[in-house]
Every structure is written in structure tokens, then in C-alpha cells.
Amino acid sequence: MRNILALVLTAGAASPAFAASGPFFSLGNTDFVVLLGFIVFIAVLFYFKVPGMIGGALDNRAQGIQAELDEARALHEEARGLLASYERKQREVQAQADAIVAAAKEDAVLAAEQAKADLEKSIARRLAAAQDQIASAEAAAVREVRDQAVAAAVAAAQSVLAKQMTAAQANKLIDEAITTVAQKLH
């Protein structure tokens, strides 16, 4: 630990002016030593083909980015195609829905017209039945009036005949009626 502390203090006490003293091409000159170290570093890099590896890595990265861009472009085109497909399907479904609504309205109108026609037929049948019942009632009333008129006429004729007829005339008419009935029965 003391060695590290001493090294730090020595490095802190050294100044750049002391490091660059003497001729440039000597190992005592730190600038020359740094230049030699840099050249050796660059030479090691070229020896191990680090620039080619960095270039290859950059090329691989560029190819990966290009592949991702191509994939993204393809996905974008696919998404556009799907969107267009869904929009087309939505328009088709909307057209079908409009057609269904129009057909339903037409069916409702036809059903209303049919119901109206059925109602008119029903009313006509009921009206005809009512007229038949009225005619039947009129005929029954006419028969009843005739029957009452006949009964009244018979009663009136009976009363008139009873007043005008004598017992001998009545007996004579009864005998004639019996004879007529006997002839018709045999």
C-alpha cells in the first residue's frame, strides 16, 4: 500500500516540463516513448487485423440493421395489405348490412300491404256476412209479418163468417169438407 502511495505522490510531483527534457529521439524523452508506444499499439492492431475485424463487425452490424429495416418494411407492407383487406371487408360487410336493412324494409312494406289486403278481405267477408244476416232477418221479419197478417185475416174472416153464417150453413160446409177429404184420401 505504501508503494502505491509513493508512486502516486511521485507521479503527482512530476511535471510535463521535466518529462520532455533532452533530445527527442531518446528513451528519456516521454514524448518519444509515447510516440513509440502509439506506433507499437497501431502495429499490434494491424498485426492482429483489428481494423478488419472492426470493419467486419461494422459490416455485420450494417447488414443486421439492413435486414431489420427490410423486415420492418415487409411488415409495414403486410400491415398495409391487412389494413386494405380489413377496410375492403368492412365495406363489404357494410354493403351487406345495408342490403339486409333494405330487404327488411321491403319485407316490412310487403307484410304491411299483405296485412292491409287481408284486413280488407276480412272486413269484406264480415260485411257480406252481416248483410246476409240482415237479409235473413228481413226475410224472417217479412215472414212473421205475413204470418201475423194471415192469422189476423183468418181471425177476421172467421169472425165475419161466424157472424154471417147460420148453423145450417156451417153444418153443410162441414159435410162438404168431409166429403172432399174422403174423396182425396181414397
Instruction: Tell me if 42 is assigned to some domain.
Output: no
Q: How many domains does the chain have?
A: 1
Instruction: Tell me if 63 is assigned to some domain.
Output: yes
What tens-digit pLDDT sequence spans the chain (186 residues)? Answer: 454 544 434 444 444 445 556 688 787 888 999 999 999 999 999 999 998 999 999 999 999 999 999 999 999 999 999 999 999 999 999 999 999 999 999 999 999 999 999 999 999 999 999 999 998 988 888 888 888 888 887 787 777 777 777 777 778 888 888 898 888 887
Instruction: Tell me if 19 is assigned to some domain.
Output: no
Instruction: Tell me if 166 is assigned to some domain.
Output: no
**Amino acid identity for residue 108 in this structure:** A
Domain range enclosing 103 = 49-149
Contact 71, 64 (CB under 8 A): no
143: left (phi over 0), alpha (psi -120 to 50) or beta: alpha
Query: Which residues have a Cβ under 8 Å from the Cβ of 31 and sit 6 or more positions away?
Result: 19, 20, 24
Instruction: Tell me if 182 is assigned to some domain.
Output: no
